[in-house]
Amino acid sequence: MREEVVIGLEVHIQLMTNAKMFCHCSTDYIGKEPNTNTCPVCLGLPGSLPVLNKKVLEFALKTALALNCKINPLNIFHRKNYFYPDLPKAYQISQYDIPLGVNGDMEISLPENQEKRKIGITRVHLEEDAGKLVHEGDITSSSYSLVDYNRCGIPLAEIVTEPDFSSPEEARIFLMKLRSIVQHLGVCDGNMEEGSMRCDANVSIRDTKTGTLGIKTEVKNMNSFRAVKKALQFEVDRQKKLLSEGEKVIQETRHWDESKNITVSMRSKEEAHDYRYFPEPDLLPLQVDLKMIEETRKNLPELPEERKNRFIKDYQIPEYDAEILTSSKALGDYYEKTTSLYSNSKILSNWIMGELIRYLNEDKVEVEDSPISPDNLVEMLKLIDKGVISSKMAKEVFEKMFKTAKGASQIVKESGIIQITDENELIEIVDRVINENPKSIEDFNQGKEKALHYLVGQVMRYTDCRAKPDFVFNALKQRIKK
């Protein structure tokens, strides 16, 4: 059987409004005492009536337009009925057959071959969030669970894609670009670890010979881009193994267990009819004014794709660099700040994409919390330009800057990391290396260039890498000729 991977995503983004979706309760619930950010409306108490927060509509409209969706002027809210402890009403106010936005798309770039792919956006709709369950013990055998209703009524926009992904890596790339879009729009911070951006995925295998699409499973609980890729790859491999052994894939919802790196069955997958959708009787149909749609479209901020193209044009950097630097709003802002202080934009992109991102990832620090500010990075680069430190020494300085949050000049002064500028001192070391390595001198005179690189390395060893490589290279050639 020739197999093709088919993946579709359902992404919830938490809209950054100050008040909840249908009441005045604060959306600032992180770290708050459980069940304190609540009221009769978000708890669904009898006699309470929901009233839509206009800001929620504005943020969701921005999102749908940025994803090239067609906007439905008439919207209807529905009750999505299912009993679960974190839904005090036993239903969720959502949108069903007439969502806010439909038939959109987003273009992604695949780094291995720079191929561009359009991913279809099926719909963007509004819904309220449920509460949070806190399980005591292992998720499969906990003796009891606690419920915190602070999150009930938090506004969400759900973005449902077409099943257009053929690999877990494509899904990861899409999610990173989606995060960057909502950050640039200012509607969501895109923090997967804290749950303000959540992703569920539907995975199935298609028989390319017959075109038959296999049974799909839903994968939940992926709280990072890395987890998305790992979970989806595991699920793809699991389904392929079942099919190769003549077994069947069953339709179910599976939970990604980060500690064991496996997906675990949670429950059989619900169908739409299981939710018994019906129009929300407490909310009138929502009429989205055409003028509001056009005004929102006209006033959309610069989005990642536009920013990427501007970076390529204005800073003369490769598309690959621009793609990475616009992968989050904060990273793009960091780069633009450095370019206002330093003229060589390619050197800046190299340091940010290389050393800075590496240390941020290792320490799990967001770029906005980086111990190295744009000013400090530029200060270090200017020390290289002045010859105070070499590029190789700068990597050591950079590491100390990141770990201590001190400036480059202070670290150079305190640690004595500085290039030897006394040419007479360097000539003495060059002559010493020449005298100690007659075989390498003979090899060089016979046209073996590698011998010269070996001699440069010996000089750098004697100077603790504090010699200027260009000066050493030229000095060796001149002294050998003499």
Q: Angle formed by the axes of helices 304-315 and 168-185, to 10°?
A: 90
| Topology given in CATH for the domain delimited by 423-481 | Arc Repressor Mutant, subunit A (1.10.10)
The Cα 125–Cα 21 span in angstroms is: 13
Lowest mean pLDDT among 52-66, 177-191, 272-286, 389-403: 272-286
Sorted by sequence, the CB contacts under 8 Å of residue 198 that are 6+ apart come out as 11, 12, 192, 223
The SS3 assignment for 139 reads coil
**Is the per-residue pLDDT at 69 higher than 80?**
yes
**What integer pLDDT is reported at residue 426 of this predicted model?**
66
As annotated, the residues of the chain forming the CATH 1.10.10.410 domain(s) are 423-481
Sign of torsion, CA 405 410 414 416?
positive
Does position 275 have pLDDT exceeding 90, yes or no? no
Instruction: Report pLDDT for 431.
Output: 67
**Taking residues 388-396, what's their average pLDDT?**
85
Which pLDDT band holds residue 203 (cuts at 50, 70, 90)? very high
pLDDT value at residue 463: 67
Confidence of residue 276 (pLDDT cuts 50, 70, 90): confident
Measured CA to CA in angstroms, residue 153 lies from 29, 249, 258 at distances of 11, 35, 28
DSSP label of 303:
-
Rounded average pLDDT over 377-394? 89
φ, ψ (nearest 5 deg) of residue 114: 60, 20
How far is CA 213 from each of CA 4, 206, 234, rounded to the nearest angstrom?
9, 4, 19
State residue 392's pLDDT score: 82
Predicted confidence band of residue 408 (pLDDT cuts 50, 70, 90): very high
pLDDT score of 423 more than 70: no
* pLDDT tens profile 426-448: 676 766 767 777 766 766 666 66
Q: How far is CA 211 from CA 7, 150, 166, 387, in A?
A: 15, 46, 14, 64
Overall average pLDDT of the 241-268 stretch: 89
The chain-wide mean pLDDT, for the chain, equals 88
Percent of the chain past pLDDT 70, that is, above it, reads 86
CA dist 139 to 83, 169, 265, 276, 316, Å?
A: 19, 28, 12, 28, 51
Average pLDDT over residues 10-35: 94
142: confidence class by pLDDT, cuts 50, 70, 90: low
Which of the 8 DSSP states describes residue 352? I
Query: What count of Cα atoms within 13 Å lies in the side-chain half-sphere of residue 240?
Result: 12
For residue 399, the model assigns a pLDDT of: 94
- Over 80: is that where the pLDDT of 238 sits? yes
Please check the confidence at residue 458 and state whether its pLDDT lies above 90: no
Confidence bin at 50 (pLDDT 50/70/90): very high
Comparison of pLDDT for 29 and 171, the residue scoring more: 171
370/352 Cα distance (integer angstroms): 11
Characterize the bridge pairing of strands 115-128 and 132-135: unpaired
Query: Is the per-residue pLDDT at 23 higher than 90?
Result: yes
Q: Which two tokens stand for residue 268?
A: 């059989």
pLDDT tens profile 8-20: 999 999 999 999 9
Q: Is the pLDDT of residue 320 over 70?
A: yes
pLDDT of 141 above 60: no
Q: What is the pLDDT of residue 466?
A: 67
Quick one: pLDDT at residue 156? 98
pLDDT of residue 482 exceeding 70? no
| CA-based radius of gyration for the chain | 29
Asked if the model's pLDDT at residue 51 lies above 90, the reply is: yes
Does residue 90 carry a pLDDT above 70? yes
User: Taking residues 160-170, what's their average pLDDT?
Assistant: 96
Please report, rounded to a whole number, the percentage of residues in the chain having pLDDT higher than 90: 67
pLDDT in tens, 323-368: 999 999 999 999 999 999 999 999 999 999 999 999 999 998 999 9
Per mean pLDDT, which range of 168-172, 269-273, 286-290 is the poorest? 269-273
pTM of the predicted model as reported, rounded to 2 decimal places: 0.85
Lowest-confidence segment of 24-28, 97-101, 316-320, 388-392 by average pLDDT: 388-392
Chain centroid, CA 374 distance in Å? 21
| All residues at 6 or more sequence positions from 14 whose CB lies less than 8 Å from its CB, including other chains | 27, 129, 154, 155, 156, 188, 195, 196, 197
